[in-house]
Amino acid sequence: MKCPFCGHEEDKVIDSREATDGAAIRRRRECLKCKRRYTTYERLEETPLLVVKRDGRREPFDRKKIIGGVLKACEKRPIPLEQIEALVGALEREISQEFDKEVPAIEVGERVMRRLHELDEVAYVRFASVYRSFKDINQFMKELRELLSKKQG
């Protein structure tokens, strides 16, 4: 493993533990040259799941892309990174169990929104506004009204 800080190829593992319900191993490593520490994850290599976009294109399921979108939605919200990683991990496991080779992008987006709705309403509205590409303030207000009616009901 190359050190992400200095590029040295020798390190030592300081700690190993199960991560994401046994689906990965989290390792804390220390570079033998610069002595800085970093974390790596070891996962089982599986057949890649493809996401079918709205226009019919297919691209590999990208966990980093989902984490990036969720992080943007959760910006300046009191949500720890561990909760975001758990949300994406649970989503990834659920999708890989339900879909064999391909999953519609709309399915991924709706499931992210459902989880964000449970986690943080502001993050949910932020994600929904980008995901659903609100064309004007009326669409945005409609979504807010639905959110408020569910909360009051």
- The total domain count for the chain is 2
Residues 36 and 50 reside in one and the same domain? no
Query: At residue 98, does pLDDT exceed 80?
Result: yes
Burial of 63 (0-12, 13-18, 19+ CB in 10 A): middle
Domain span at 13: 1-45
Residues 35 and 65 reside in one and the same domain? no
**What pLDDT, on the 0 to 100 scale, is given for residue 15?**
95
Helical residues (DSSP H) of the chain, grouped into ranges: 63-73, 81-98, 105-119, 121-131, 137-152
pLDDT digits (tens, 9 = 90+) for 111-146: 999 999 999 999 998 998 888 877 778 877 887 888
